[in-house]
Amino acid sequence: MEIRVLGCLIEKQRTTPDVYPLTLNALRLACNQATNRDPVVEYDEETIRVALAHLSRRGWARLASGPGSRVVKYRHLLDEAINVSHAESSLLAVLMLRGAQTPGELKQRTDRLHPFASLHEIDGVLDALIERELVARLPRRPGQKETRFEHLLSRDADAPREATVDGGDDRIGALEGRVAALEEALASLRREGGASAPPHALAVDSDQVAAVGDHEVDSGTAADDVEGAVARSQHVVADSSEDPV
């Protein structure tokens, strides 16, 4: 969603400079256009606010309302943030808005943003962006004559979120493993005729793990609860192993 918002800010800066910077509503309409967009989306204003907040933290967009302005407006900062030319940012914007494309498609679709004189000029700009790892050349599909290109801006933008999700999954898996071990220890204790398990231990910890999976509680809290339950089970085992005489 950040990439769609960023692409729209660049596009509207070039095609409708009289209404740029954009209001939140104008940006919503630009993101949800049925033409010149792939895929077509249906973002609400809250989704766009979140995207703008992420872009602002990266230094790619900012609030642009003037003194005394009654309407909040936003502008992009991509040109300055990553030091790209007018031609380069135009190509990036079209790639952001319409996905992977051939040089011929890019020449046709960037005409409103930047007048490229020839396909040779497009190739030169793409080569420069590839060298900076901002664009990638895709392998040709079977039966395809022209090479397609895609932007790589979302690679860096998505990396922190992917790491967070993966880390959360690992944490949940570890918690589930601890609960399984606790259940096995208590089941073994019952089979051997030892003391019964604390009535609340398993229920609480299982709920904690389920809540972590739904992102309702902090995983650190759940981990502490599981570790406490494990400690309690070890204490039960120790007490039950003592000689009653």
Residues 25, 18: Cα–Cα separation, whole Å: 16
Q: Which two tokens stand for residue 38?
A: 């792939």
pLDDT for residue 155: 75
pLDDT for residue 34: 96
Contact 31, 48 (CB under 8 A): yes
Q: What angle do CA 57, 59, 61 make, to 5 degrees?
A: 95
pLDDT for residue 125: 98
pLDDT for residue 223: 46
Q: What is the pLDDT along the chain (245 residues), one digit of tens a residue?
A: 999 999 999 999 999 999 999 999 999 999 999 999 999 999 999 999 999 999 999 999 999 976 767 889 999 999 999 999 999 999 999 999 999 999 999 999 999 999 999 999 999 999 999 999 999 999 988 888 899 999 999 875 444 333 333 444 444 545 555 655 666 666 667 766 654 444 444 444 444 444 444 444 444 444 455 455 445 544 444 444 444 43
Name the CATH topology of 2-153: Arc Repressor Mutant, subunit A (1.10.10)
pLDDT for residue 138: 96
Residues 8, 6: Cα–Cα separation, whole Å: 5
pLDDT for residue 69: 72
pLDDT for residue 178: 60
**Could you tell me which of 192, 179, 175 has the C-alpha nearest to residue 239?**
192
